[in-house]
Structure 1
């Protein structure tokens, strides 16, 4: 295992052929700052990716992941992303955004375009490059 790589666990949460994504904070020192991405975070020492994705989703939006499956692993030079998928079984207004700038249910059209409007940002913001790739793969497999 490359010690330079950070391991993260992220979740594709889907509802009615739409996908919950987080508009990441517009902070220069975070990955994909100001871009749409998936909820999730760093795997802590001793945690499995499954435990991490449940913990992170609960921390970030107050949603308890009960049923979820592994979708795949996406690696680049710096990050190994353990990707899970699960149905989102509550309405958007039942979630509490504790991390990030905004959240929205994106359509396959938004994902294909690689961007989506954010009411909070007041502008169209891009999807993170790797997050778009993951979402395109998911949409193509489940379309």
Structure 2
């Protein structure tokens, strides 16, 4: 979960059948490649998805379900949104805490309000505990 000036970076997943939680807001990230650590995976995924990475990410929490184990990281987004290149997904935004509490966010590109993927909701729940 990347934070910039009190807002958090979200990815609107593609509306593609067969992907996990299509058309919902989520965090940038993905799966581990064989032999890869969770930290290596998040760095690779950020580079693949927004052409940016950070050496200042910190492990945050792990959420397990019967389908997967999700590793969450936190850090600062050290650049403005305009300096990121969206390479995966259909939109990205910096969402306020009020928007995160609501469970849905407006997509500027699609002019639609979209809900959160469960993984983003887990992160928001952890964030609100602090």
Shorter-chain-normalised TM-score: which range?
over 0.9
Q: Name 2:90's counterpart in structure 1.
A: 101
1:51-62 paired onto structure 2 within 5 Å: 51-62=40-51
Q: State the 1:106 CA deviation.
A: 0.7
> Normalization by structure 2: what TM-score?
0.96
Q: Name 2:56's counterpart in structure 1.
A: 67
Contact (CA 8 Å) 1:111, 1:136: kept in 2 or not?
no
Distance 1:109 1:52 in 2: 30
Q: RMSD between aligned alpha carbons? A: 1.0
Distance 2:118 2:32 in 1: 21
Partner residue of 2:27 out of 38, 47, 51:
38
Distance 1:22 1:139 in 2: 19
Confirm whether residue 86 of structure 1 aligns to residue 72 of structure 2.
no
CA deviations on 1:1-40 (whole Å, 9 max, x unpaired) are xxxxxxxxxxx01111110000000112111110000001
Q: State the 1:133 CA deviation.
A: 2.1
Distance 2:63 2:104 in 1: 21
> Normalization by structure 1: what TM-score?
0.87
1:103-142 paired onto structure 2 within 5 Å: 103-141=92-130
Structure 2 runs not aligned, ≥5 long = none
Q: Name 2:14's counterpart in structure 1.
A: 25
1:39 alignment partner, SS class:
coil
Q: Which segments of structure 1 move beyond 4 Å, counting only runs of 4 or more?
A: none
Distance 1:34 1:50 in 2: 26
1:42 alignment partner, SS class:
coil
Structure 1 runs not aligned, ≥5 long = 1-11
